[in-house]
Structure 1
Amino acid sequence: MTPTHKVYIAGPDVFFRNASEVMRTKGEMALEYGFHPSTLAEDGDALGGDTPFAFGLSIGLANEKMMDESDFIIANLTPFRGISADVGTAFEVGYMRAQGKPCFAYSNSARDYYTRLTEDFYAGGPFEADGEVTRAADGLMIENHGMRDNLMLDTAVDQSGGAFVAEDAASDDMPGDLEAFRAVLIRARAFFDAKA
């Protein structure tokens, strides 16, 4: 299929040992659905710097340039190093939403944010009722909006016209399973076909 739109593929996949292979596979899948994929900024020629900080800046700027050149984003918001999405990926969703571009996302965990917060982070309690608010023992509010992740991420996806697919990984590879990614590609293709 001839690509019709450019997709910025975001997620913590860049930290995987096999990052290049994963991104290549995702790129091939994107092409199957008629989307031209972004590539790993870390593989680019425009990177450099005399210090680790300068090198990091060059990666960040390269990513921003790729987002500027893309029509939409598909973000892997599977919980990463904690109960929520990778913070860099969250930034990228916000960056694309601020440009008015469609935001699509997926998670390889069907458990909502509230469940991960109460069961994983707070290990089941204790919790107290404070009026209409539930608080943990540390005094912090426990938000329960029935959302897949932080409400700003769900809002960005929903209000941009995109879709957020959250389903438990079919394989034992929760971070790297690609079935939900494929499901989002299908939703993105339908979104752009409906606008054609």
Structure 2
Amino acid sequence: MFLPNAREVLDHKIALARSYGFTPVSPGDLAVPETETRHQRGLAISAINESLMSSADLIIANLTPFRGVAADIGTAFELGFMCARGCPAFAFSNCTENHFERVSGLYGGEVRLGPDGRHRGPDGFALENFDMADNLMLDGGIAARNGAVITRKVAPDRLFLDLTAFEECLNLAAERLLKTAASA
């Protein structure tokens, strides 16, 4: 996580996950080995994250737009990795504007319907307009695994701190996965 109080936020998320009956894994739980270069350090962090994901049974991904109009690219990779493993997938976003609305904003209202029936920016590029929280592959991967994307509008200063939607994902995942396993 990139927050100045990342450990505090991770600890809160871990406690919430445990309270719903899950055993969470978090990249903040493992020490990154010393390396000679920044590149090697980045590769070490990537290997740790992949190892943690390989040990996990599901994912709850934070799709809140990060440094732009879409989810963090690392989170998108993680979601794809877990979907490729066939794991249940859930996600949340503390932004209620859909992907199309956010991308349209980049063009300052200059999006037009093209002759092909697709929305296009002044640069000619088509915009996805599927009423989805993020790129159709992220929403689609979650839906294909009987997951859900929970969105909430929060105050701008709470964008990465408010865990209400995260907790809703935990509750939904517990209902769908833990209760189903208990009745089997």
Q: Distance in 2 between matches of 1:81 and 1:25?
A: 23
8 A Cα contact 2:130 2:136, kept in partner:
yes
* TM alignment of 1:23-172, pairs within 5 A: 23-41=10-28, 43-119=29-105, 121-169=106-154, 172=157
Give the ranges of 4+ consecutive aligned residues of structure 1 lying more than 3 Å apart after TM superposition: none
Q: What is the CA–CA distance in structure 1 between the aligned matches of 2:109 and 2:32, rounded to whole Å?
A: 47
Q: Which runs of 5+ in 1 are unaligned?
A: 1-13
Q: 2:70, 2:111 → 1: CA distance?
A: 21
1:73-98 deviation digits (Å, cap 9, x = unpaired): 11110000000000000000000000
Q: Provide the TM-score with structure 1 as the length reference.
A: 0.88
Q: What SS class does the counterpart of residue 165 from structure 1 fall into?
A: strand
TM-score where L is the length of structure 2: 0.93
Please report how far the alpha carbon of residue 128 of structure 1 lies from its aligned counterpart in structure 2 after TM superposition.
4.3
Instruction: Decide which moves more: 54-63 or 161-170.
Output: 161-170
Asked if the contact 2:128–2:135 (Cα under 8 Å) also holds between the matched residues in 1, the reply is no
Give unpaired runs (5+ residues) of structure 2. none
Q: Tell me if structure 1 keeps the 8 A contact 2:104–2:111.
A: no
> Alignment identity in percent?
40
Give the match's secondary structure for 2:159. coil
> Which structure: greater strand fraction?
1
The 10-residue stretch of structure 1 (110-119 or 163-172) with the greater mean CA deviation from structure 2:
163-172
Matched-pair contact (CA < 8 Å) for 1:128–1:137:
no
Q: Once superposed, what is the RMSD of the aligned Cα atoms?
A: 1.5
